[in-house]
Amino acid sequence: MRSVTVPADDRTAKARIRDAAIECFAEHGIAATTARKVAEAAGVSPGLVMHHFGSMDGLRSACDDHIAEIIRSQKSRALSAGPNMDILAALREADPGPMGAYLARILVDDSPAVARLVDDMVADAEVYLEQGVASGMLKPSADPRGRAVLLALWQLGALVLHKHMDRLIGVDLTDPDVTTKPALAAYAGPVYEVLGGGFFTADFLSQAQAAIAALAADGIADDSPSPDHPAQDRSSSKGTP
């Protein structure tokens, strides 16, 4: 009987602490995650956690940066591949691990740290969406930053509402193996339909774009009466010379 060789963990102690912290934050949330819990999960002392990161805020910032870097790298690679990208291969290679659960936990925290993370992810999205335009995968946008903001917040919001997503269509976006499960099609199908085909007819889209252009230029006129100019009772004034 052949023995199975387990690969050695060649991560540095700092990387092991960071990865353990991501799992702890994902499982317990921000307030309940302590240096001691992270140390136990990483197999190190609490003192070593503080040695490498200085504080729990410093540790969390390192986790945020690591998550943002993984997402930036994956999205950039996918959107640079062009229209012939192998979608199934990309899903197999995604390996989200605890990233979805981590983001779902921390995004509800109304703090400067979360604002910085969201700002960074929007800035990254603007860059990799333009890479998608250059590769021929995406259409150009009249408002690249607005599009990046909308798509980034849409995806992040879906993670925050992941329990409702699971309840309504049977897909848990925080599942570490979600990208390899058939249930993902229930989410990905409508996403590609909306983003690829859209759901407005050409006539309505043209009308809506004209209205939005007018709104951007002048705002919406307020036709309600002011105290200095009371509304005239049109019904009683009919026929009055």
What's the rounded Cα separation, in Å, for the pair 205 and 121? 29
> Is residue 163 assigned to a domain?
yes
CA–CA separation, 26 and 38 (whole Å):
12
C-alpha–C-alpha distance, residues 167 and 164, integer Å: 5
User: Could you tell me which residues come within 8 angstroms of residue 132 by beta carbon, excluding any fewer than 6 positions away?
Assistant: 79, 80, 138
Report the C-alpha dihedral over residues 197, 203, 209, 213, rounded to 10 degrees: 170
Domain contains 130: yes
pTM assigned to the model? 0.82
* pLDDT attached to residue 223: 55
Cα gap 155→178, rounded to integer Å: 15
Q: Does 24 map to a domain?
A: no
Task: Find the CATH number of the domain harbouring 132.
Answer: 1.10.357.10
Instruction: Report pLDDT digits (tens) over 21-48.
Output: 999 999 999 999 999 999 999 999 999 9
| 16 within a domain of the structure (yes/no) | no
The values of phi and psi at residue 175, to 5°, are -65, 125
Q: Find where tokens 């190190």 sit.
A: 44
* Residue 122: inside a domain: yes
5: in domain: no
Domain span at residue 134?
A: 58-217
The pLDDT confidence band at residue 1, using thresholds 50, 70 and 90, is very low
Per-residue buried b or exposed e for 134-157, using 16+ beta carbons within 10 Å of the residue's own CB:
ebebbeeeeeeeebbbeebeeebe
CB atoms < 10 A from the CB of 217, how many? 7
Residue 126 in domain: yes
Tens of pLDDT, residues 126-178 = 999 999 999 999 999 999 999 999 999 999 999 999 999 999 999 999 999 99
The number of folded domains in the chain is 1
**First and final C-alpha spacing in the chain:** 108
Domain-located, residue 22: no
Residue range 110-123: mean pLDDT, rounded: 96
